[in-house]
């Protein structure tokens, strides 16, 4: 934006000294706003030319004073140029800082990132999940490592973060840290939040992410089909820990609940629904949206199996779930024992609920989305993989409808002919 600036020197006669001298002031006007600063120089009132804005005559005193005023005027124009080069607004406040020599505070990225994470940590369980905090902590670590790798520094002025910086960071994550595309994009998305904080506070004006347009690639989400689910359910595990993990995994397959929600379930989460049947009513920790799920017989069976478990009774929990890490470790054993050629993780149960248990059996995606606690259908569609069996069933239904329509039309034609 083009700014209009004018510079004027004037004698402030209202502040005439007892010796009859008047102080000379500098007035800078930018887009109609004024900044008036004393030059700390004095002149006899009769020797000052208001029209010319300088001392009259050609005496040594006049030449010295006028030369000082010219230098001061040149400095103001230099300050204007500096502000423009620094991509700062040429306004009264920024000019005041330049003229008075007020040093601008330097903001660096690492303390801003650390403060963000500290605030997030204080809100874990209220607004953020523990996993979200861990991802931001990892992002901060990657940022520190990148600065060391690229610039051999431990921190950097946020004004030095530009599009080249972002591109180099992207390259670093992919090449040095061997992150895949989606992981790279997610780490830079976290970094982008810190940049938006800087922009919101007016510490920077340019968005270094303006020309960075990466895309999350669609990932093939694994799930169990009906045969695989039956194999896991019917497998007779002699080792108690594997039997426990199997049961809780199958419970998630028939409820669609994520690990953290299963871990937090208590008897208070079991309520009588609008249909008079038992439901699980909870809130997703990730988004704090309601997740209300009618209990299917298999899920009911597993709840009843552990209702007298000492751990559940002591902790007032619905199921005696292990840590997520141990669950996933044991699930790999279960997958091997059951001959499942997929890397079993607890989250696969959620995918299985969406695909095999509900959508394949004709439950509308809108109902599935509501049970999952998703805020929009687009999120559910990332989980939902409509298998060929469901497509075949849908088309068979359509085929029957079309055939019945043809039969009805033929019968109608026969009646008319008679």
Q: Strand pairing partners for 108?
A: 157
Q: Which of 159, 182, 255, 223 is nearest to 386 (CA)?
A: 223
pLDDT of residue 405: 80
226-386 CATH, one of 1.10.443.10, 2.60.40.3080, 3.30.70.240, 3.40.50.300: 1.10.443.10
* Residues of the chain predicted below pLDDT 50: none
Among the listed residues 178, 176, 185, the one whose alpha carbon sits nearest the alpha carbon of residue 216: 185
Exposed / middle / buried, residue 327 (Cβ in 10 Å: 0-12, 13-18, 19+) = buried
Q: Which is nearest to 195 in space by CA: 158, 240, 245, 155?
A: 158
Task: Check: pTM over 0.75? Answer yes or no.
Answer: no
**What is the pLDDT, as a whole number, of residue 103?**
67
């Amino acid at each position: 934006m083009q700014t209009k600036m004018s510079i004027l020197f004037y004698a402030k006669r209202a502040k005439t000294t007892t010796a009859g001298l008047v102080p000379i002031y500098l007035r800078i006007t930018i887009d109609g706003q004024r900044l008036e600063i004393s030059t700390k120089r004095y002149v006899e009132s009769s020797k000052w030319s208001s029209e010319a804005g300088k001392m009259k005559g050609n005496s040594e005193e006049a030449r010295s004073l006028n030369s000082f005023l010219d230098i001061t005027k040149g400095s103001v124009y230099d300050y204007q140029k500096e502000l423009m080069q620094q991509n700062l607004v040429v306004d009264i406040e920024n000019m005041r800082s330049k003229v008075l020599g007020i040093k601008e505070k330097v903001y660096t990225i690492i303390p801003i990132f650390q403060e963000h994470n500290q605030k997030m940590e204080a809100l874990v369980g209220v607004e953020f999940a523990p996993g979200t905090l861990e991802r931001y902590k990892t992002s901060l670590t990657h940022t520190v490592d990148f600065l060391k790798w690229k610039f051999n520094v431990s921190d950097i002025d946020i004004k030095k973060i530009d599009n080249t910086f972002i591109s180099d960071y992207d390259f670093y994550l992919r090449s040095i840290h061997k992150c895949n595309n989606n992981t790279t994009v997610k780490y830079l998305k976290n970094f982008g939040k810190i940049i938006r904080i800087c922009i919101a506070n007016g510490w920077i004006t340019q968005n270094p992410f303006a020309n960075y347009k990466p895309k999350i690639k669609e990932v093939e989400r694994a799930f169990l089909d009906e045969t695989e689910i039956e194999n896991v359910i019917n497998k007779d595990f002699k080792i108690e820990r594997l039997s426990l993990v199997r049961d809780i995994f199958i419970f998630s397959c028939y409820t669609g609940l994520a690990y953290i929600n299963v871990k937090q379930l208590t008897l208070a989460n079991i309520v009588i629904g609008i249909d008079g049947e038992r439901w699980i009513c909870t809130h997703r920790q990730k988004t704090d949206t309601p997740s209300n799920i009618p209990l299917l017989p298999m899920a009911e069976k597993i709840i009843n199996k552990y209702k007298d478990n000492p751990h559940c009774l002591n902790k007032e929990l619905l199921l005696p779930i292990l840590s997520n890490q141990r669950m996933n470790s044991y699930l790999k054993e279960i997958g091997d024992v059951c001959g499942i050629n997929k890397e079993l993780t607890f989250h696969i149960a959620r995918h299985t609920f969406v695909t095999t248990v509900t959508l394949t059996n004709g439950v509308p995606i809108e109902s599935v989305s509501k049970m999952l606690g998703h805020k929009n259908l687009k999120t559910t569609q990332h989980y939902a993989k409509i298998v060929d069996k469901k497509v075949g069933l849908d088309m068979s239904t359509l085929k029957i409808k079309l055939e019945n329509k043809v039969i009805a039309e033929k019968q109608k034609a026969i009646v008319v002919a008679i």
